[in-house]
Structure formats: C-alpha cells, structure tokens
Amino acid sequence: MKIWIISFTVIVLLVLLYSVIPTLLIRIYNLGITKKVQGENRIVLTFDDGPNPHYTPQLLDLLKRYGVKATFFVVGSKVKRNPKIIKRMHEEGHTIGIHHYDHISSWLMSPFKLRNQLIMTEKAITECTNEKVTFYRPPWGHFNLFTRLISKKYKIIMWSDIFGDWKVETCKTELLDQLRKTTDGGSILLLHDCGETFGADIEAPRYMLENLEIYLKEMTERGRRFITFSEL
C-alpha cells in the first residue's frame, strides 16, 4: 500500500514539474514572455484559434472598415484548410503567429511532438505568406518544461486582458463592458475568431464581433491606436 502511494506521489510530482510548475513560473515571473507593450497610446488586438471560414472573413472586414491591424495566432491544421484567409490577413497588413498545428495543450505533448507542432504550423503559414514567422502563443497559455527551449526562435506573446468571449453568454452580457475597461496603453487583448475548440460555443464569435465593432468605434474616436506586433 505504501509503495502504491509513493509511486502515485512520484507520478503526480513529475507531471507537475513537467507542466503546471513551469507554466506558473513563466507566467508569474514573465520569463521570456510578453504581456504588455510600450506606448501610452497603443493597444494590441490579438485573436486565437482561427482561421474560421465563416467568422474570420467577417472579422477582417470589420478591421478593414476601421483601419485597424491585428495579430492572429492561428491553428496550423485550419491554415491548411483555409489558405486564402491567411493570404488575405497577410495582404491586409495583419501579423500572423503560431498557435500549434492542433489546438492541444503543451501539457499533453512530449518535447518531440511540441517541436513538430511548431514546425508544421510555421510551414503552413509560410506557404501562404512567404515570410518568416516570428511570434508564438501556446494554447491556453500552457507551457511545459521544454517549451522555452524548443520555441526559442520565436517571441512568445501572452496577454494583459482576456474576456471569456468563447462563451455566448459572456459575449451577450459582459464583453462590451469588459472591453471598455481596457483603455490602458500597452494592453494586449485576447479575443477568439473561432468557437470550435473544446469548451467554446460555436456561435460565440458572432456576438464577439458585434461587441468588438462598438468598441473599435469608440476607441478610434478617442484616438487610440491599434498596432500589430510586427510594428513594434
């Protein structure tokens, strides 16, 4: 019985050392990650989990209408299915970064698999843009013991503000107020242009877009400048 308890404890500790503890240390002490940018009049809009063939073109239309550039952290397998959307993002001046080939947490991947996820996603993006990929955001903001070593060629971008916009109810009741509170210069805002990932509502991006349009109108009227990471 004691041997079983010891073995179980050792396994739990190893799992924590590989996944949760590195994530906590990196995020608490900002080890090699970016959560804010310099500039009192700058805000960075970022979007995860796309491209989505229905909602991402609508988002691009909205951004174009307000003259706003954004940064997209894309899923490589979706890039392969929607290359025209990625080409449009690139042509319209948006920045495109890596969000794994499949939307899988780094906690669940070996170092070898994580490396392949990054390589495959970079290849998928480069085939559409013919440009080097510089930025990376791991799904859910999860790191493992080897993430920083394996991803050292990229700049890891986190966020200062996240809104729960993957749920329809949040978008309907809270999102606009939450966005309006994010007026600090240098903020990095995280939104989602796809509701197909685990725990998300498929129609959530529809309501996110409605709120985002109101927010963009208000912020541009106040003179706030939205930038991409490529501009920094």
DSSP 53-75: TTHHHHHHHHHHHTT---EEEE-
Q: Which residues are catalytic?
A: 48, 192
Amino acid present at 74: V
From residue 212, give the alpha-carbon distance in Å to each of 3, 12, 21, 101, 189.
Answer: 56, 42, 34, 27, 11
Strands, E, within 38-165: which ranges? 42-48, 71-74, 95-98, 135-136, 155-157, 161-162
Q: Of 98, 93, 88, 100, give the one whose Cα is nearest residue 68.
A: 93
Backbone angles phi, psi at 93, to 5 degrees: 90, 15
DSSP symbol at 135: E
Q: How deeply is 41 buried, as exposed, middle or buried, from its count of CB atoms within 10 A (0-12, 13-18, 19+)?
A: exposed
